[in-house]
Structure 1
Amino acid sequence: TDLGRFSVVADPSGAVLILWQARAFAGAGVFNEPGSLGWVELATRDAAGARAFYPAVFGWSVAPSEHYTQWGLNGQDFGGMVVMDDGFPPQVAPHWLPYFSVADVDNTVGRAVAMGADVLMPAYSMPGRRIAVLRDAQGAPFGVYTDGEAGDGGGGP
C-alpha cells in the first residue's frame, strides 16, 4: 500500500525539515495531548527570511512580537521561531525543535535522564507553562512542556 510520500529539504537558512504528502496514512492523529507532538520551533539567524519563506511556501500565518514569532494555520498556532543570537554557539546550525506535551515536565525530565538523555535546558516555569529541552541517548534534541497551572496539557511553549 502507498502510505504517503516524504521529502527531506532545507529552508534558505539551512534548517532541515521533512515534508509529508499523505495517502493511505494521514499522519499523526493526535496533537497537543500528553505524549504527543504539541509544538515546533524554528531556531534561525535569518528571521526576516523565515518570515517571508514559510508563509510563501506553506501559507502559514505569522504573528511576530518583539521577542518571539508564532506560526499558524487556519487560525491555530502550532509553532514559533527564535532568533539565534550570541547565546547560540556559531557552529549550531539553524534547526527545527519538536516539543512534546507531557503531564509533568519534571517527572519526564527525570525519567529521560535515567534512560540516558542529557538536559540541554533545565526545566523552568514561565507564565502558564513549564518547559525543558533534552537530548535523547541517540543525540536528537527535543523539548517537553506542560501548559496551565495544573498541567492540563493545552497550547505550546
Structure 2
Amino acid sequence: MVPDQQAALDFYRDLFGWQGEIGPEEFGGYSICTLKGKPVAGMMKSMAMGDQPPPPPNWTSYFSSADADATEAAIRANGGTLIVSATDVGGIGRMLIGVDPQGAVFGVWQPKGFDGAAIVNEPGALVWNQLSTPDPKGAGVFYQAALGLEAGPMPDMPEFTGLQVKGRTIGGVQGMENLPEGVPPHWLVNFCVDDVDSTADALVRAGGSLMAPPFDMDKVGRMAVVLDPQGAAFAIVATNEPVKP
C-alpha cells in the first residue's frame, strides 16, 4: 500500500522488472504485478478505513488459507485481532488482515480462482518472510495455532525460529534485541536479487534509502534492508545457493 500507486509501479518496474497497471475501480484499483507474465506481488493506493487515517506505506505478508472464515476464528481464539474481517474480493478470493498478539500485521488469502504468487525464490520475486517480535516463542505458538504453520528451531541459525509448511521452511521469527528502540513488531518481506550491492545502488538513485546497507549473513548470503521512495520497507537478498522453487 502506497499513497502514489503509479509511482510505485514505475519504481518496482525499474528495480525488479515487474509489469503492472492500475486496476479497475471495482477492485479499488488493485494492481497485480507480474514477472515473466506471472503474478509476483500486488499494490494498491492507501485508503482511509472509517475514521482512521490511511495506513503508512507498507508491504504485507499474505498466507494462504483453505477457509478464511475459519482462520479468522482461529486468530481471535488465540489472542489475535482483525483490522479487516474476512471479505470477498470479487470472485477471485477471500481475504482478511490480522494482527498477532504481539502487534505484527499480516494478511490471509483464500484462493477462489487466483492463487497468488506464481513465481518465488528467484530474482525479482519473494524469497522469505521474516517476523521480528518481542516474544518469538509466543509468536510461534500463535502462528501454529492460528494458521497451521509449524514452528521449530532452525539448526543452522539458532537465533531464528523457523516456520514451516508441509516440512518446508518459508519464514523465520527473531527477537527485537538488535533493532532500534521504537520499531514495532512487524513482518518483513524479502525479495531475491542477483546482486544486492548493485540493486541497492539503483534503489538509492531512484529515490529509495538504506536502513541496513548491504552486509553478509552467515549461511544465507548477502542482503540489505531498504525503503522504497514512499517509505515502504523490504529486504533484498542474494542467496549463497540456489533456492528450491
TM-score between both structures, scaled by the size of structure 1: 0.89
Q: How far apart, in 2, do the equivalents of 1:126 and 1:91 lie?
A: 24
Assess if the C-alpha contact under 8 Å between 2:213 and 2:225 holds in 1: yes
d(CA) in 1 for partners of 2:140, 2:97: 20
The aligned amino acid for 1:116 is G
| 1:113 matches 2:113 | no
8 A Cα contact 2:191 2:236, kept in partner = yes
8 Å Cα contact 1:101-1:153 kept in structure 2: no
Whether 1:126 and 2:230 are equivalent positions in the alignment is no
* Aligned partner of 1:141 among 192, 210, 233: 233
Q: How many residues align?
A: 151
Query: What is the deviation of 1:153?
Result: 4.3
Superposed CA offset, 1:72-92 (max 9, x none): 11111111111011x333421
Instruction: Specify the SS of the correspondent of 1:51.
Output: helix
Which residue identity is paired with 2:174?
A: V
- Which 10-residue stretch deviates more, 95-104 or 2-11? 2-11
Q: Return the offset for 1:53.
A: 0.3
- Unaligned stretches of 5+ in structure 2? 1-89
Q: Among residues 122, 130, 145, which one is paired with 1:41 in the alignment?
A: 130
Distance 2:199 2:163 in 1: 26
TM superposition shift of 1:115: 0.7
Of structures 1 and 2, the larger Rg is shown by 2
Which of 65, 70, 82 does residue 174 from structure 2 map onto? 82
Contact 2:141–2:151 under 8 Å retained in 1:
no
Residue number in structure 1 paired with 2:96: 7
* Alpha-carbon distance in 1 for matches of 2:114, 2:146: 23
Structure with the largest fraction of strand? 1
Partners of 2:137 and 2:151 in 1: CA distance: 11
Letter paired with 1:91: G
What is the distance in 1 between the residues matched to 2:103 and 2:227?
21
User: Which structure's relative contact order is higher, taking Cα pairs within 8 Å and 6+ residues apart?
Assistant: 1
SS at 1:62 equivalent: strand
Q: Which moved more, 1:96-105 or 1:57-66?
A: 57-66
Q: In structure 2, how many angstroms separate the alpha carbons of the residues matched to 1:15 and 1:96?
A: 6
Structure 2 distance, partners of 1:126, 1:92, is: 21
**TM score, norm. by length of structure 2:** 0.59
Q: Which amino acid aligns with 2:128?
A: W
Render the CA deviation track for 1:30-51: whole Å, top value 9, x for unaligned.
Answer: 1111100110000000112101
Once the two structures are aligned, what percentage of the paired residues are identical? 38
More helix by share: 2
- Structure 1's unaligned 5+ residue stretches are none
Contact 2:140 2:173 in 1 (8 A): no
Q: Contact between 1:103 and 1:153, CA under 8 Å: does it hold in 2?
A: no
TM-superposed CA distance for 1:114, in Å, is: 0.7
Tell me the equivalent position of 2:159: 67
